[in-house]
Amino acid sequence: MARSSGRPGLIRIGFAMILAWAGFFSLSEASHQFPLPYISAELDGQILAAEALVMDRRYQEARALFDKMESLQPASVLPSLGRLLILMTHSLEQGAPKAALEEDFAAEFPKNTKAVKTLEKQEVLSAWDHFLLGGAYGVRGLYEMERHRYLAGFYHGFKALGHFKAAQRLDPQIHDVYFATGIYKYFRSVKTRYLWFLPLIADQREEGLGEVRLALARGHYSVPASKIALVVLAEKEGNLGEGARLGEQYLAEYPNCRLIRDALEKIERRRAAVPTGDTLIRRGSVWSLLLDFGVSVDYKKTQLHMNNPIPTHNRHRSR
């Protein structure tokens, strides 16, 4: 990797694409017809349409669909959650207009918080209610992580995880939840494995990746997000060949998706920086550790210095 991106990769799509589209998860194969009994077929179609627009970077059109939902269901968590997820997806792109997006976040979060608190006051919550609450806490967790407020990020992430697990307990056929739990396990492991005061948190990266793959295979709304995540996480794991293969395959499906394109460009920079034919930077190596912390690494130059150290008696001669 010639140079790491401005934001650490483990935050960038990181925590979550977060958990991002997790609020929309529902049934893909079930004893009851999807998406009943939680939402109507019409609402399901609107959500899928909004997701397709986001993958095509038609953000204003996607937002208009959620605005329309809000006119029909003003107290629902779904419309504000949808707008937040659109903002988050846009903000994760390289070169995103941060200042303008920050203003939009500041305007949208109070609406979402109000809807979340109203829903949480209900005595009985359905599986769909827990999905929406999990999505709301998840996107807030990613927002905090992006701004390096890690304790707040993990707090909201933990709350999101609780709601997703509750949803799955109520309906074990909801497979999209594996995207959210898989992303959470992966990034929690990455973020805590070098913290000496958290020695009991196991490395669950492989388990997290497995759950993302399960969401891809059996999910409904989580399929596009899972594809993005698998490309991004392949790059993070140093599996550059696999990341390039998946990225090219998925970019053919979503040619305007910047998140896939950004990940592919990062993979190509890394492949150009490592020795010819080396498409895997091994986990646990010094390169992996540096990249976890977002350190810029020129592999070839660093390897040259390691192979040809400056002799001790020559180190201070020329100044």
> Residue 220 in contact with residue 236, Cβ under 8 Å?
no
Residue 23 has pLDDT above 50, yes or no: no
Rounded to the nearest angstrom, the gap between the alpha carbon of residue 45 and the centroid of all alpha carbons in its chain is 23
* Residue 289 confidence (pLDDT): 47
Residue 252 has pLDDT above 70, yes or no: yes
The domain segmentation of the chain, as residue ranges, is: 9-305
* Residue 26 confidence (pLDDT): 37
* Residue 251 confidence (pLDDT): 97
Largest CA distance in the chain: 78
Q: What is the arithmetic mean of pLDDT over 93-115?
A: 96
Rounded to an integer, what distance in angstroms lies between the CA atom of residue 189 and that of residue 204? 6
Joined tokens for residue 211: 């759950």
**How many H helices and E strands in the chain?**
14, 0
Rounded to an integer, what distance in angstroms lies between the CA atom of residue 291 and that of residue 310? 25
Q: Which residues pair with 239 in a beta bridge?
A: 280
Rounded to an integer, what distance in angstroms lies between the CA atom of residue 284 and that of residue 238? 10
Global pTM? 0.76
Model confidence pLDDT, tens digit, residues 138-170: 999 989 988 989 889 889 999 999 999 999 999
Rounded to an integer, what distance in angstroms lies between the CA atom of residue 16 and that of residue 10? 9
What CATH code would you report for 9-305? 1.25.40.10
* Residue 267 confidence (pLDDT): 95
